[in-house]
Structure 1
Amino acid sequence: MTVLITGGRAPVALDLARKFARSGVRVVVAESSRAQLCGRSSAVAASYPVPPPNRAPRAFVQALADIVKAEGVRLVVPTCEEIFWVARGRLPCEVLAEPLGTLRALHSKWEFVRLAKGFGLAVPETRLVLSARDLVGVPRPFVLKPVFSRFGTKVRVVRGNIGLKGDEGPWVAQELLDGAPVCSYSVAVGGRIVAHAVYAVEFTASGAAVSFAPMAHAGVDAWVSRFVERAGFSGQIAFDFMVGERVLPMECNPRATSGVHLFGDELAAVMLGEAREEPLRPSPDARAMIGLAMLTFGLAGVRSWSGLRRWARVVRESADVIAVPGDRGPFRGQFEVLWQNWIRSLWTRRSLVECSTYDIEWDGR
């Protein structure tokens, strides 16, 4: 059996490749970036270069179709925003993704909130903003962010007047929420959750978590379960919440996220359709981190001695997602990825995190 994983630059793609390989599945990878993690992994039988999806979408899908036929692929597992470009085409095998229309509604920070509200779920007060006129009467402070965006890199907290550039929209204006950020990651089949993890956000790189530990939260579990059931969703789905007196979603990512790192190899079987009476959940003592990011972004975010002690404890107790005994190639590969993103950030004046998705981003086109 062969599985094709797309998005080979991403830590989640590498982790999934290893999970499938240890489960006896042959893994091939497709990636449009020259620098990647999976290509150096012993878990990967073959790594194929493909055209950048947001520049050559038809050629990208055709390249995937050619790989599927040549390798006898049974299942395609997208991991990052290339999932939207994968969903635009038709591949001659099973794809772990919903149709593009469903993915678009969930990726949109406006349509997602409307959908969840229609399901009877609690959501933050949110307004679609097409021009400055749409901000009249919005209580300050509020959060302003593009309808299609990622990593929170363009999120702004507005406390007074604000000027908007017409070529940047549309946006959503959302109430500023109190509480702690919490993330969930699930795999679902036909509206039923078959794998589920919840984890708090502590150490980050430009808003993206780089350390992961599972937590129990019945309110988050209930919210996700109802949404997935009402949507009849199948595939990977993740949510960012703000949890305080209320459990309120900030956005949805209908794709793989770092919650993958909390699971053992059983996750591969779930993705291949293994029947389960109860959802697969992480071990309570699971701890993971992206080591290089923790040593740079994570450490840079420490602001106190207690924070430093907490950082040191997390580093000591967590397994690095990249550097795994017996598969050291990706450890070297991550420096190539970092170097490529750094060079690109210099001439584009974008952050390192933004440059990591420059050729796969999908903004509703």
Structure 2
Amino acid sequence: MNTKKTVLITGARAPAALHLCRLFHNTGHTVIMADSIPYPLSKVSTSTDYFYEIPSPKWKTNECIHALLSIIQRRNVDVLIPTCEEIFYISRYKEQLSPFCHVFVDDFRKLSLLHNKWDFIQLAANLGWRVPATYRTNNEQDIKTMLYQTADTASFVLKPIFSRFSDKVEFITKEVAIKENMIDKSNYILQEFIQGTQHCSYSIAQSGNVLAHSTYKTEFTAGVGATIAFKPIDHPKIEQFVGHIVKELDFSGQIAFDFIVTENGDAIPIECNPRATSGLHLFDAEIVSAFFHANVNHTLIPKPHSECAIRLAMLVYGLPYVKSKQKRKRWLQVLCSYPDIIYSHTDRKPFFYQFFSMYKLWRESVKHERTILEQTTHDIAWDGEHL
């Protein structure tokens, strides 16, 4: 039996996609990468057998799906694995693609439920989990009542229902919340601020079973929320929550969650990313079997000492940590000791190409008056629009 597969990975711009590309290549599979920008990291990887630039999933959805279908048929693709927010568009049109290959995503209804921060909080609460008190900003009366009943020292998080990388997230006091014009933020939620440390999880699931799982604590970020250094930890309550959600939804695919872990160790879920995230970097080639659902008899977890970091991001976003007496030593320790995610001695081109890719991204962000983080997903993001 021929065990060699042809794998099509979309979102080639993401470091997670590059990591997947290398893992599949190193285990003997043919790897095709695709993206809607011409300068993604994986384009120059020696692990990439073919690269295709495809139309934007967000702005040219039909053309994107047709392009993927053409690649799948031409290259006899066995598995399609989205890694970024193009996953929502691929999921929505999964029926058109599934007859020709296995599409490693769950159905659009589930992904939409999990991606919607309001709906996700309701789901977790209904399943009996403690969640932050959360209010839709279009329910002005409920917000006024809540603010009247809370202490003057209370703090809140104001964020869009659909967002990524903690984009447009604001941390505000009760005084600011009272003065805030919520009418202008109709697609936002106001959430109780919970004191604690952010933790993240990444998992692969099949038919309600968790096949692979990693948890890591957020120490260093790009901007407000995108973690850029990773060290695996064990947290049973997080594992329990992930298993419960996956089982309840009979979920298949990649799924990630953000939590606030309090001083007493309670893990409080705050949002979900039903796609690949950087927790994937903590795994080695063993995780490939989870994508094929082959020979996975127990939940795969990262090996000890599998920490890693995106060193360029550590440098670009490092100034606040350098200025902090409490964090400077730890930042320097992680920068110097954690292996770089992008660099590989057998695949050096992406390391050097990332500087060109970052420059192009910066140029586009300046041209369109967006932040760099906004620019990274401008052509693939899904914010609840009708599809």
1-structure distance, mates of 2:78, 2:23: 16
Aligned to 1:241: 259
Equivalent residue letter for 1:88: R
2-structure distance, mates of 1:306, 1:168: 36
Q: Does residue 1:61 correspond to 2:65, yes or no?
A: yes
2-structure distance, mates of 1:263, 1:134: 44
Cα deviation for residue 107 of structure 1 reads 0.2
Task: Identify which range, 340-349 or 244-253, moves more after superposition.
Answer: 340-349
Cα deviation for residue 172 of structure 1 reads 1.1
Cα deviation for residue 276 of structure 1 reads 2.1
SS of match in other structure, 2:131: coil
Cα deviation for residue 166 of structure 1 reads 4.8
Tell me the C-alpha RMSD between the 2 structures.
Answer: 1.5
Aligned to 1:341: 361
Q: Does residue 1:180 correspond to 2:197, yes or no?
A: yes
2-structure distance, mates of 1:276, 1:346: 46
Deviation sequence 1:227-277 (CA, Å, 0-9, x none): 111111110000000000331111000000000000011111211112322
2-structure distance, mates of 1:241, 1:56: 34
Cα deviation for residue 81 of structure 1 reads 0.4
Q: Show structure 1 runs of 5+ residues with no match.
A: none
Task: Identify which range, 307-316 or 207-216, moves more after superposition.
Answer: 307-316
Task: Identify which range, 130-139 or 32-41, moves more after superposition.
Answer: 130-139
Equivalent residue letter for 1:249: P
Aligned to 2:168: 154
Aligned to 1:313: 333
The percent of aligned pairs where both chains have the same amino acid is 39
Matches within 5 A, 1:72-83: 72-83=76-87
| Residues 1:147 and 1:227: Cα distance change in structure 2 (over 3 Å) | same
Equivalent residue letter for 2:118: W
2-structure distance, mates of 1:46, 1:225: 36
Cα deviation for residue 49 of structure 1 reads 0.7
Q: Does residue 1:34 correspond to 2:29, yes or no?
A: no
Aligned to 1:226: 244
Matches within 5 A, 1:1-365: 1-89=5-93, 90-91=96-97, 92-130=100-138, 132-139=140-147, 140-159=154-173, 160=175, 161-164=178-181, 166=183, 168-206=185-223, 207-244=225-262, 245=264, 246-365=266-385
1-structure distance, mates of 2:355, 2:140: 43
Task: Identify which range, 52-61 or 124-133, moves more after superposition.
Answer: 124-133
SS of match in other structure, 1:295: helix
Task: Identify which range, 335-344 or 61-70, moves more after superposition.
Answer: 335-344
Contact 2:140–2:182 at 8 Å: present in 1 too? no
Contact 1:289–1:321 at 8 Å: present in 2 too? yes
2-structure distance, mates of 1:21, 1:299: 36
Equivalent residue letter for 1:81: E
Contact 1:180–1:243 at 8 Å: present in 2 too? yes
2-structure distance, mates of 1:262, 1:303: 29
1-structure distance, mates of 2:77, 2:143: 49
Contact 1:131–1:164 at 8 Å: present in 2 too? no
1-structure distance, mates of 2:104, 2:18: 17
Contact 2:137–2:182 at 8 Å: present in 1 too? no
2-structure distance, mates of 1:85, 1:356: 17
Please report the TM-score for the alignment, with normalisation by the length of structure 2: 0.91
Contact 1:195–1:267 at 8 Å: present in 2 too? yes
